[in-house]
Amino acid sequence: MEVKIVPIAYHIDRSNTLYEGQSLELTPLTNLTEGEKQLKIIGLDQISHHAYNTVVAYHNTNFANTISFDQVNCAQMEKYLEIIRQLYFSSYPSRLMCLYSAKDIKSLKVWIEYLKLDEGYNVWEIGYDASKTVELDAYFLRANTLKNPFDFESLIKYWRGQISNNPLVELLIPLPVKVLRQVDVSHFI
Output the pLDDT for position 3: 64
Q: Give the pLDDT confidence of 1-17 residue by residue, as tens digits.
A: 676 677 999 999 988 99
Percent of the chain having pLDDT more than 90? 53
Q: Give the pLDDT confidence of 103-122 residue by residue, as tens digits.
A: 999 999 999 999 898 888 99
What average pLDDT score do residues 87-92 get? 95
pLDDT of 136 higher than 80: yes
| 126 in Cβ contact with 101 (< 8 Å) | yes
Average pLDDT, the chain: 85
| 102 in Cβ contact with 111 (< 8 Å) | yes
Output the pLDDT for position 64: 46
Peptide bond between residue 93 and the one before it cis (omega within 30 degrees of 0): no
What average pLDDT score do residues 54-80 get? 62
pLDDT of 32 higher than 80: no
pLDDT of 151 higher than 50: yes
Give the β-pairing of 23-24 and 8-13.
unpaired
Which of 3-7, 40-44, 81-85, 115-119 bottoms out in mean pLDDT, i.e. has the lowest?
A: 3-7
